[in-house]
A = this chain, B = another copy of it.
Amino acid sequence: MNTAILLYDGFTALDAIGPYEVLSRLPGARATFVASEPGPVRTDNGMLSIVAECSLQEMPAPEIVLVPGGPGEVAARAGGPALAWLRSVHETSTWTTSVCTGSLILASAGVLDGKRATSHWLALDTLAGLGAEAVGERVVFDGKIVTAAGVSAGIDMALTLAAQIAGEQVAQAIQLGIEYDPQPPFHAGSPDKAPAEIVALLRGNSRFVTGDPAPLAAT
């Protein structure tokens, strides 16, 4: 399976690297980071660059397409070559996938019209406004389209997808290989579990997800 992972200025690194770490371990897998132009691409906070190995034109028919989210999604869906590329590669892909606000980019490309899909919990209304049937689940399959909730949800999505592609044994072996036995120190990972004041803090700080790339302000 050949996976193309779309990079753009202001993407969130874990959105891309979580699924990469899983999907690149599938038997015979190849993962390729792609962007408008080859070369380093900056993440949302400006502190990290990941290298795009090739341009979009050089990757016309990946079997899996993965679109990470991040504050840069606003610019990515405002125009540029990514939307046309997504429309094109989706025609022949085996799986078209996103993590977090990457689904807003897929929706802007017209790929999610009327499809069940998810996104970061702070972006579900925006996703619905772009024509998808937005659902607040962690991993959502609709035919060959697979979308994940915010940032870390890409790991769960990729393991679920790995089982579809290569069987449960292989997916379990990958899970054990990356020792994915999560033990979060708090019950704060979703808006229905986190303390109300933390949810309110994030709602007042949604630039954290979709706009200003500054780290979380002091509380």
**B residues less than 8 Å from A168 (CB atoms):** 186
A40 CA / B33 CA spacing, docked (Å): 14
- Whether the pair B179, A189 counts as a contact (CB closer than 8 A) is yes
Q: Is the Cβ of A171 less than 8 Å from the Cβ of B185?
A: yes
The answer to whether B215 and A26 touch across the interface, beta carbons within 8 angstroms, is: yes
Q: Is A87 an interface residue (CB 8 A)?
A: no
The residue of chain B having its C-beta at the shortest distance from the C-beta of A186 within the complex is B172
A178 contacts B152, C-beta separation under 8 Å: yes
Please tell me if A208 contacts chain B, counting CB pairs below 8 Å: yes
Q: Please, how many angstroms separate the alpha-carbon atoms of A21 and B184 in the complex?
A: 15
User: CA A13 – CA B14 in complex, angstroms?
Assistant: 10
Choose from B40, B153, B219 the contact partner of A173 (Cβ within 8 Å): B219
A143 located at the interface, meaning its Cβ lies under 8 Å from any Cβ of chain B in the complex: no
Among A25, A160, A185, A218, chain B packs the most CB atoms within 10 A around the CB of A185
Q: Does A50 reach chain B (CB closer than 8 Å)?
A: yes
Q: Does A12 contact B (CB under 8 A)?
A: yes
* Interface size of A as a range: 35 or more
B interface footprint on A171-196 (CB within 8 Å = 1, 0 otherwise): 11111111111111110111101110
- A216 (CB) vs chain B CBs: closest residue: B25
- Among A28, A121, A180, chain B packs the most CB atoms within 10 A around the CB of A180
Within the complex, which residue of B53, B184, B218, B219 is in contact with A182, where a contact is CB–CB below 8 Å? B184
Say yes or no: B179 contacts A151, CB within 8 Å. yes
Q: Which residues of B contact A24 (CB under 8 A)?
A: 45, 47-48, 215
* A176 and B160 contact, Cβ closer than 8 Å, known pairs A47-B24, A47-B31, A215-B26: no
The CA of A50 and the CA of B172, in the complex, are separated in Å by 27
**A174-B216, A176-B188 given; A47·B30 CB < 8 A:** yes
* CB < 8 Å neighbour of A172 from B173, B195, B217: B195
A139 CB, min distance to chain B CBs, angstroms: 8
Q: A13-B17, A25-B215, A171-B188 are in contact. List 14 more A-B contacts (CB 8 A).
A: A14-B18, A14-B178, A24-B215, A27-B215, A138-B181, A159-B186, A163-B185, A172-B195, A173-B201, A175-B188, A175-B189, A176-B199, A176-B202, A181-B190
